[in-house]
Amino acid sequence: MFRILHRRELNDTVTELSIHAPLVARKAKPGQFIILRVNEEGERIPLTVAGVDRDEGSVKIIFQVVGATTELLNRKREGDLIPDFVGPLGIPTHTEGINKVLIVGGGVGCAIALPVAEEFKRLGAEVTSVIGFRSKELLILEDEFRACSDRLAVMTDDGSYGRHGNVTVPLKEMLEAGERFDRIIAIGPLVMMKFVVLAAKPYGVPVTVSMNPIMIDGTGMCGGCRVTLVKDGKRVTKFACVDGPDFDGYEIDFDEAISRGRMYRDFERRAHEETCNLLKKAEV
């Protein structure tokens, strides 16, 4: 069993938990993920490692309440236990030879982007970060990004905070002004990552994207997390859990990934509603 040591609500739908998992904390690196179950009968869900405290033996996870399992996880409090917390899984983000990096995070994807930005800063790279949200109410981790970034741009779609516009606005401004980066790392909604890739392509800047498709076992056996890459005109299937989650953004078939990502949206919404109703009845 794994104990919840700390809990922090980042906004109305996004929560941060620190889980006591010393063996995972000892080995986890930025870009990797864990798979957990909230209870013995629960489904397995992947969540990115958002940070580790090796002295405390804890692993930080950040999640948005979107379905039944995240609703149940969000009901947990400090001191509560969860039965399964497996990891670290996946390949860590590549950092070698990158001295100037642009980190682009969108929405809850900022929880994945933050430890990557922190690692590059620790290694002495020049870090520019661009984070974007739909509105001020959804803003998370601004102070943490500011602490590890040489420059930070905060964007909101509705202009309620920071600059008005999406994350490609400052990206295009920097590239059009002649600024060059060793690599751009984009983490967030698929549509956002697709347009970051399109914005960077004319300038030839390498782009890494972090893929978070449907995932079940985390070992490559189920095939649920398959991602299609297009290399030299040929379509190649990879699995995000063992081959990723980081991939070359220029090779991803984003249209297919977006279509697959929408397959279970209605199911998740119904499962969330049913779970909420059951919990309310249990509280009466």
Contact 157, 134 (CB under 8 A): yes
12-37: per-residue pLDDT in tens?
999 999 999 999 999 999 999 999 99
Window from 13-17, 44-48, 263-267 with minimum mean pLDDT: 263-267
Pick the CATH number of 93-210 from 3.40.50.1360, 3.40.50.300, 3.40.50.80, 3.50.50.60: 3.40.50.80
192-234: per-residue pLDDT in tens?
999 999 999 999 999 999 998 677 767 677 777 888 889 888 8
Tell me the mean pLDDT in the region 80-106: 94
- Write down the CATH number for the domain with range 2-89: 2.40.30.10
Long-range contacts of 142-149 (CB under 8 A, 24+ apart): 144/114, 144/118, 145/105, 145/110, 145/114, 145/117, 148/114, 148/117, 148/118, 148/120, 148/121, 149/103, 149/117, 149/121
109-168: per-residue pLDDT in tens?
999 999 999 999 999 999 999 999 999 999 999 999 999 999 999 999 999 999 999 999
Tell me the mean pLDDT in the region 248-259: 90
Domain assignments of the chain as residue spans, ordered by start: 2-89, 93-210
pLDDT bucket at 268, cuts 50 / 70 / 90: low
pLDDT bucket at 273, cuts 50 / 70 / 90: low
* CA 231 – CA 250 distance, rounded (Å): 9
